[in-house]
Amino acid sequence: MSSRMAYIFIMCYNGGSVIFGVTNQKFGRGVIVKKLYQNRELSWLRFNERVLEEAEDERNPLCERLTFMSIYQTNLDEFFMVRVGSLHDQMLLEDDPKENKTNMSASKQLEAIRDRVRELGIRKDESYHRLMKEVEKKGVKIAQFSELAEEEGQFLHDYFQREILPLLSPYTISKKRPFPFIKNKEICATALLETKSGKNRYGIVPCSNGMFSRLIEIPNNRGTYMLAEELILHFLGEVFTGYNIASKSLVRVTRNADIDADKVYDEELNYRDHMAEVIKLRRKLEPVRLEYTRDIDKKIVKSVANFFKIDKEMIFLTNAPLDMSFVFDIEDSLRHDKENFFEKKVPQKPACLDISKPILPQVLEKDKLLSYPYESINPFLKMLKEAANNPNVVSIKMTLYRLAKQSEVVSALVDAAENGKEVDVLVELKARFDEENNIGWSRTLENAGCNVIYGLDGLKVHSKLCLITMKQDKEVVYVTQIGTGNYNEKTARLYTDLSLMTADQKIGAEAARVFNALSMGDVMKRTEHLLVAPKCLQNKVIDKIDREIQIAKDGGEGYIGVKINSLTDKKIIDRLIEASRAGVKVDMVVRGICCLIPGIKDETENIRIISIVGRFLEHSRIYIFGKGEREEMYIGSADFMTRNTVRRVEVATPIYDPDIKNRLRDMFNLLMSDNVKAREMGKDGNYTYVEHAKPAVNAQETFYEEAYKAVES
């Protein structure tokens, strides 16, 4: 009995992350904790901390650091709207369900999130004020009223009276005047009001109605501005006349945006109209966070929190502006100095294509790979436009998830339909926060004569798939495009993504089956070439990991290389742990959430995980299994998250062309060699910059240099 080994699951809290793992305990001896998992939400907060690091990194130009500061805040807003909103809903369930990696209940996760957000909030405030001191040295300043000269204060007073006060809608709260509806993320000035008789009331004024400029420049002091909400707060006494302002602050509420469109489905409406109603409903969901800017009378905070039914622990004091979007206006005023920004980079013509010639024939001859943003999306757009006008093209089929506001993709599809092509388009109306845009595009496509469908019951269609079907010499010929990113010309300049264009007929035939299944409201249950979630991706990935495990056990060299945005799928995580135990080398580039802890002796010591957060958003997905002749390589739309692998329709394609395989392998190896923007996860779950023991390697900058050189040569 004393020699037997027992495995006990242990949960511990470590440096802001809850880490869950296996304890290998020999009876009668000490306990060795082996931390293998970390909580998804806390891992995401670590990702956003890396974004904040970019705002703090003095190697980045000043205005780019301002952008990262704004991204940090908008990321956190969305985190509260979606993830905290979801946890809040779960907590209301009777059993307060636990997640499957750290065994934390929803309430415990919310508690840990709250504590971590407070820590990061202090750091964010300090970083913001340091940044603004640097901005001031460049001649731009966000002023406080106390810093202004008398004549400047008089100008602002006159401006307030003339331009702002007539447009405000102030409210005093009483039994007959209940609290007004406050929109999501709307900044409001609030005050504790005292009457002459000594009674207290609360006043609130929405400050962001869009009818006046948020940045108010002060004449004769060029480059000096005041935020409109600060001006309103300063002159609040002139809004609530007849009262004494006992205490005042700016406040902002964040509302839950996590709503299951299928659960609230209204059968009286068509699906598109139903989604329009869902968007309206989301705007009225309960708040999950309250932020305020002054250490004000606790009565005000309590009153506002009680009205919104916000847990007092979800109230956060900040010493920075509640909305950072104004920094983009500051950046515009500093554009004259190129040193304030990254050196301008323009997506290049891909070396694999001659864009002076038609694209379709070149793809029919040999597979082509585009790498955004280093190479332009234009060759794909050109191919789509060619297909719209090619008499041999019979049909075009596409899945659309997120589109640009001015979409050339939609324009090409409309042209195709008007030219008599059969155009089948799946527009995913449940693409969160893009629903309104997609509803509008779906109407445009439908009006042009395209066949438009809206996805599957209970499943989002997240794949990036385009199939062009041609009739040549009485034969059906497929040209297929499969990508890792959306058909969005704007994000193709900001996100790193991959796009394969192939005339491989086996891939094309299987893509045709995917579209046939979607059109009939079904999913693929068997595939030979493509990986297609929800039925044919997770299981196939696990099978390929198992193959590497067996090879390692047989004395061979097992290898797995993965580049994804997030890793949360426990079935895949557990197989990766098993692979590491068997001696399989696992290299991973995981930009965001990562619930697997590497580097644990005898468990995950063969796994290396890095995260690259830099100038461009890392968004491409690459899966590599094996080395040498048995190497298999895929690119696709799916992260290794349960929502992607079993709850969405995702498509990954094999790479069969040897030249493209070589190129992707080189790209992956370069990413793993990054020692400028890469942070490596340690066995404690913390990330540290990769040490500069070698010459500096910034993968993103290197990819752009290679793209420029390829055009020059």
Catalytically active residues are: 462
Residue at 274: amino acid letter: H
For residue 138, CA distances in Å to 69, 131, 143, 323 come to 18, 11, 14, 22
Kind of pairing, strands 315-317 and 287-292?
parallel
Scanning the structure block, which residue is given the tokens 């993709």?
409
Find residue 320's DSSP bridge partners.
Answer: none
Kind of pairing, strands 368-372 and 495-502?
antiparallel
Burial of 243 (0-12, 13-18, 19+ CB in 10 A): buried
**DSSP states along 320-335:** S-S--TTHHHHHHHTT
Residues 424 and 397: beta-carbon distance below 8 Å: yes
Helix (H) or strand (E) holding 577: helix 570-582
Sheet with 141-142: strands ordered across: 141-142, 224-227, 215-217
Find residue 476's DSSP bridge partners.
Answer: 471
Q: What is the largest CA-CA distance in the chain?
A: 93
Q: Return the HEC string of 390-407.
A: CCCEEEEEEEECCCCCCC
Q: How far apart are CA 138 and CA 578, in angstroms?
A: 54
Chain centre to alpha carbon of residue 543: 29
Find residue 472's DSSP bridge partners.
Answer: 475
- Tell me which residue of 354, 333, 335, 332 sits closest to 344, measured CA to CA: 335
Residues 624 and 563: beta-carbon distance below 8 Å: no
Q: Return the HEC string of 181-216.
A: CCCCCCEEEEEEEECCCCCEEEEEEECCCCCCCCEE
Backbone angles phi, psi at 565, to 5 degrees: -85, -40
Q: Return the HEC string of 81-139.
A: HHHHHHHHHHHCCCCCCECCCCCCEHHHHHHHHHHHHHHHHHHHHHHHHHHHHHHHHCC
| Torsion sign across C-alpha atoms 52, 57, 60, 61 | positive
What does the block give as tokens for 404? 């640009």
Residues 167 and 211: beta-carbon distance below 8 Å: yes
Cis peptide before 534, with omega less than 30 degrees from 0? yes
Helix ranges restricted to H, 334-396: 359-365, 378-389
Residues 61 and 339: beta-carbon distance below 8 Å: yes
What does the block give as tokens for 416? 């195709």
Scanning the structure block, which residue is given the tokens 């979800």?
314
The CB-side HSE value for 40 (13 A sphere, CA atoms) comes to 23
Q: How far apart are CA 444 and CA 450, in angstroms?
A: 9
Q: How far apart are CA 658 and CA 367, in angstroms?
A: 10
Residues 414 and 251: beta-carbon distance below 8 Å: no
Find residue 249's DSSP bridge partners.
Answer: 190
3-state secondary structure of 516: helix
- Residue 178 makes CB contacts below 8 A (sequence gap 6+) with none
